[in-house]
């Protein structure tokens, strides 16, 4: 049975939570907490549901003039679902990352001889060679663990680590195996009926009696994510926004268009200090079969309902059943 973080917070004392060995490691310019001995299992049903979602996402993600789009008609060779398995077995999606980090981190968690490493090595045989490029607007992450770096002056295909407004890189877009200007674009969720548009005119109509999330139209790293829960104070969990904060942001004169998504309860990790957990499941595109292969990945846990790859998060290896 899948237990949600809210149920765990309400029903489990700190003494009942598991204490696990944690390794602190530096990957690129980021410090991460790894728990390589604490495997989290993902069922075949969850993997199949996620694959179907990726197939639907490909059809509605905005088109860019990239190598991936021209060659295969896809936004990216590699994507990641940040999601949970609900108690009824249905997958709830927070987002589909069109240009994900975390492959190198997952290799660290699983090891060089793991199933994850073998699946990644196998699918790379079907991919053209590409390198990663980091602009001055972004930090070095974990890409050097599995890719060579480029400064853009060679003729290699590229996986960008750059902001959408890094316009000086526009000329390199035709060499991209993933997104560039559309990185973090969340318009696909409207087409997939996962969330809907809201703006300042909708403030008085927000469902304050329910839990929900306000998210930006485009963004990464959980910036401008506001989580509302009507029973927030009683949950004892971090990461929730106040009604005043949400109204103020939506009503601001410079407020952009936002999206409203029903709140999806995180799973419980059962680990002391890291109550809330989600899956981060990678899929790679296989050009010869025009299909998506589930690679596995990691689980991310945090003391907050706002789970992302922060330096106070905990990463656990994800095992496919």
Query: What tens digit of pLDDT does each residue of 259-306 get?
Result: 999 999 999 999 999 999 999 999 999 999 999 999 999 999 999 999
pLDDT of 67 = 98
Which run of H or E residues covers position 198?
A: strand 196-198
Orientation of helix 103-110 relative to helix 115-124, angle to 10°: 140
**Domains of the chain: total:** 1
- Alpha carbon distance 107, 124 (integer Å): 14
pLDDT of 17 = 65
- In 3D, which of 254, 294, 64 has the Cα closest to residue 170? 64
pTM exceeds 0.85: yes
Q: Which residues contact 180 (CB under 8 A, 6 or more apart)?
A: 64, 66, 160, 162, 164, 169, 170, 172, 173
pLDDT of 221 = 77
Q: Which residues contact 272 (CB under 8 A, 6 or more apart)?
A: 14, 17, 18, 19
Cβ(183)–Cβ(99) below 8 Å: yes
Cα 77 to chain centroid distance, Å, stands at 15
Pairing of strands 226-228, 314-320: unpaired
Q: Is 58 helix (H, G, I), strand (E, B) or coil?
A: helix
Q: What is the CA radius of gyration of the chain?
A: 19
Q: What residues of the chain score a pLDDT lower than 50?
A: 1-3, 5-15
Q: Which domain holds residue 93?
A: 5-320
């Amino acid at each position: 049975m899948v237990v949600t973080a809210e149920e765990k917070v309400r029903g489990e004392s700190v003494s009942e939570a598991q204490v696990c060995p944690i390794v602190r490691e530096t990957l690129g310019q980021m410090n991460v907490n790894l728990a390589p001995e604490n495997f989290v299992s993902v069922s075949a049903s969850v993997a199949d549901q996620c694959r179907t979602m990726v197939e639907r996402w490909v059809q509605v993600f905005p088109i860019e003039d990239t190598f991936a789009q021209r060659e295969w008609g896809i936004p990216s060779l590699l994507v990641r679902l940040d999601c949970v398995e609900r108690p009824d077995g249905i997958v709830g999606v927070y987002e589909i990352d069109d240009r994900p980090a975390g492959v190198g981190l997952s290799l660290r968690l699983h090891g060089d001889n793991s199933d994850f490493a073998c699946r990644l090595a196998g699918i790379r045989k079907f991919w053209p060679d590409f390198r990663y490029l980091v602009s001055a607007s972004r930090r070095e992450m974990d890409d050097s663990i599995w890719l060579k770096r480029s400064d853009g002056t060679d003729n290699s295909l590229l996986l960008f680590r750059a902001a959408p407004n890094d316009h000086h890189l526009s000329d390199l877009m035709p060499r991209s195996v993933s997104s560039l200007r559309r990185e973090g674009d969340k318009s696909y969720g409207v087409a997939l009926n996962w969330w809907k548009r809201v703006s300042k005119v909708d403030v008085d109509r927000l469902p304050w009696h329910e839990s929900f999330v306000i998210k930006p139209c485009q963004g990464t790293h959980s910036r401008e994510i506001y989580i509302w829960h009507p029973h927030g104070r009683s949950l004892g969990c971090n990461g929730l926004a106040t009604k005043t904060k949400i109204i103020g942001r939506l009503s601001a004169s410079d407020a952009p268009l936002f999206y409203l998504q029903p709140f999806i309860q995180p799973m419980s990790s059962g680990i002391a200090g890291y109550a809330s957990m989600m899956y981060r499941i990678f899929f790679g595109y296989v050009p010869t079969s025009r299909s998506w292969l589930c690679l596995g990945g990691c689980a991310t846990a945090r003391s907050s309902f706002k789970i992302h790859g922060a330096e106070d998060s905990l990463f656990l290896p994800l095992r496919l059943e």
